[in-house]
């Protein structure tokens, strides 16, 4: 029996050592074969929206700064090809790449690297402890990426901070564009305060023991997040709110740069500021996800209709968005049921993917997510001449809905009553006052243009490329 235990222990140790040696040789091989390229870690290249726009605008900006660098895209979309990705960048976002990703010319050099282990970063893989599960899963996925192709520069555009130490091990210069911290100080304070929200289940919020356990979990995760984030040579962030949290969490303020995301304001600014008030239309543009707080919008709208004077026109609210999965489809149906319950279904419309047409006729745009890191939809409202009614927190409060040359650019609100009052004020507002606010809002939106993104992004990354070529 003793001999068997000794033999088992010996075999186990041998296997561990062999695996460690194998991993070491993989890293050494990666170091030796590093290519003069930027590896862009973006596992979901067809996710649409602001994140994908940042991806392609960033690739174009990198090509402008250093045309001699290849831009290699790490993607888990197996149907993605070099041609389809460059075509998507142009057709969907109007971004023309200088030299689109090409078909690999040897079996070892890829311009598009397909990842086969993306399931390890998918939310559905981790019914519990999703945050830590996806973070550790990203380590595994980045290992696959860097073993297949090791670039001189590693660029994360999707917020996978746990991949940074892996890239450093492979000898890469690491830089990132962070839309939203994986964990924020606000999340921790909500758990401590036992506040129920989309990211803090009511069952946990009601239990002192479960809340304490979650505080410990979040605190430990925060320490890990702080360590991995500090491995970035450069961290670009999309807003003042994100910058504040990342600086406190990662502790590298000297390496953090604020680069506002590229918003497609040019087409929207061509829309007329004059809007029809027969009836006044309010638009809401957001995916049908829990954090977007669509029920609050409907409840506030119902209160506003009840409070409106009888001689004023009844407004229409148009909810525009998309559904990622069955859960979102169910959420959309629940919103339709809520509109009936609130007796406003005759004044509510639901649309999918027809944003620009609806923005052209909207007098106001409503946004209700708490701690929206930036708020691209709010910028789009302003560019289109729709007066924004946004949540009084994070990006909208700190960066977007601010006075322009001393003039009001919109409304900030919290809670059903404040949103309802803002809706009523927009509808009752004299035409000249509404046009004055809309014009100021449009001017404010111009500071979040694609051109501004290109300028700020290139200024941020130039020192990284200069250091890497010494």
Share of the chain above pLDDT 70, in %: 82
Does one domain contain both 219 and 314? no
What average pLDDT does the structure give for the chain? 84
Tell whether 5 is covered by a domain.
no
Does one domain contain both 254 and 294? no
Instruction: Report whether the peptide linkage leading into residue 279 is cis, meaning its omega lies within 30 degrees of zero.
Output: yes
Tell whether 31 is covered by a domain.
yes
pLDDT tens by residue, 406-458: 999 999 999 999 999 999 999 999 999 999 999 999 999 999 999 999 999 99
Q: How confident is the model at residue 105 (pLDDT cuts 50, 70, 90)?
A: very low
pTM across the whole model: 0.83
Does one domain contain both 308 and 216? no
Tell whether 13 is covered by a domain.
no
Tell whether 4 is covered by a domain.
no
The CATH number of the domain holding residue 23 is 3.40.50.2000
Tell whether 287 is covered by a domain.
yes
Does one domain contain both 241 and 271? no
Domain that holds residue 204: 18-262+451-467
Does one domain contain both 184 and 329? no
Neighbouring C-alpha atoms within 13 Å toward the C-beta of 151: 25
Q: Name the domain count of the chain.
A: 2
pLDDT of residue 470: 41
Sign of CA dihedral 189, 194, 198, 199: positive
Cα(253)–Cα(246) distance, integer angstroms:
8
In order, the DSSP letters of 238-276 are SSHHHHHHHHHHH--GGGEEE-PPPB-HHHHHTS-S---
Tell whether 460 is covered by a domain.
yes
Q: How far is CA 47 from CA 39, 40, 231, 284, 317, in A?
A: 19, 15, 27, 20, 26
Count of beta carbons in the 10 Å neighbourhood of residue 222: 19
Q: Does 2 have pLDDT greater than 70?
A: no
Does one domain contain both 418 and 276? yes
Does one domain contain both 233 and 282? no
Does one domain contain both 209 and 127? yes
Does one domain contain both 312 and 296? yes
- C-beta separation of 40 from 73 below 8 A: yes
pLDDT tens by residue, 160-210: 999 999 999 999 999 999 998 988 766 766 655 545 444 445 545 555 666
Does one domain contain both 210 and 329? no
Does one domain contain both 444 and 458? no
Does one domain contain both 232 and 256? yes
Tell whether 318 is covered by a domain.
yes
């Amino acid at each position: 029996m003793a001999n068997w235990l000794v033999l088992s222990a010996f075999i186990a140790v041998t296997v561990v050592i062999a695996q460690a040696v194998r991993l070491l040789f993989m890293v050494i091989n990666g170091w030796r074969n590093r290519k003069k390229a930027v590896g862009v870690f973006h596992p979901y290249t067809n996710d649409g929206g602001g994140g994908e726009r940042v991806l392609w605008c960033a690739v174009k900006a990198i090509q402008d700064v250093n045309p001699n660098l290849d831009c290699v895209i790490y993607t888990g979309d197996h149907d993605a090809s070099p041609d389809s990705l460059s075509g998507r960048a142009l057709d969907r976002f109007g971004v023309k790449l200088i030299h689109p990703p090409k078909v690999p010319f040897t079996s070892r050099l890829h311009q598009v690297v397909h990842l086969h282990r993306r399931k390890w970063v998918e939310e559905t893989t981790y019914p519990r402890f999703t945050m830590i599960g996806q973070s550790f899963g990203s380590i595994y996925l980045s290992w696959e990426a860097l073993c297949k192709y090791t670039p001189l520069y590693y660029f994360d555009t999707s917020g996978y901070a746990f991949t940074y130490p892996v890239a450093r091990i492979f000898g890469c210069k690491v830089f990132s564009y962070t839309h939203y911290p994986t964990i924020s100080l606000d999340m921790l304070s909500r758990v401590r305060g036992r506040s129920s929200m989309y990211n803090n289940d009511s069952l946990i919020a009601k239990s002192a023991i479960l809340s304490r356990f979650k505080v410990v979990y979040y605190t430990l995760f925060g320490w890990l997040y702080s360590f991995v984030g500090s491995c970035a040579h450069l961290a670009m962030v999309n807003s003042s709110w994100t910058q504040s949290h990342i600086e406190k969490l990662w502790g590298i303020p000297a390496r953090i740069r604020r680069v506002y995301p590229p918003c497609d304001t040019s087409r929207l600014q061509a829309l007329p500021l004059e809007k029809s008030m027969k009836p006044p239309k309010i638009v809401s543009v957001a995916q049908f996800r829990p954090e977007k707080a669509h029920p609050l919008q409907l409840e506030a709208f119902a209160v506003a209709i009840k409070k409106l004077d009888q001689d004023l026109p009844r407004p229409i609210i148009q909810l525009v968005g998309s559904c990622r999965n069955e859960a979102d489809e169910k959420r959309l149906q629940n919103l339709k049921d809520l509109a009936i319950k609130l007796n406003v279904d005759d004044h509510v419309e639901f649309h999918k993917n027809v944003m620009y047409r609806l923005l052209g006729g909207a007098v106001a745009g409503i946004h209700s997510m708490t701690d929206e890191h930036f708020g691209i939809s709010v910028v789009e409202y302003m560019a289109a001449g729709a007066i924004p009614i946004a949540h009084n927190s994070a990006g909208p409060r700190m960066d977007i809905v601010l006075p322009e040359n001393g003039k009001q650019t919109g409304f900030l609100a919290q809670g059903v009553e404040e949103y309802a009052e803002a809706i009523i004020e927009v509808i009752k507002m004299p035409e000249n006052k509404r046009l004055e606010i809309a014009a100021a809002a449009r001017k404010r939106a111009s500071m979040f243009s694609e051109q501004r993104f290109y300028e700020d992004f290139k200024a941020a990354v130039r020192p990284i490329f200069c250091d890497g070529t010494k």
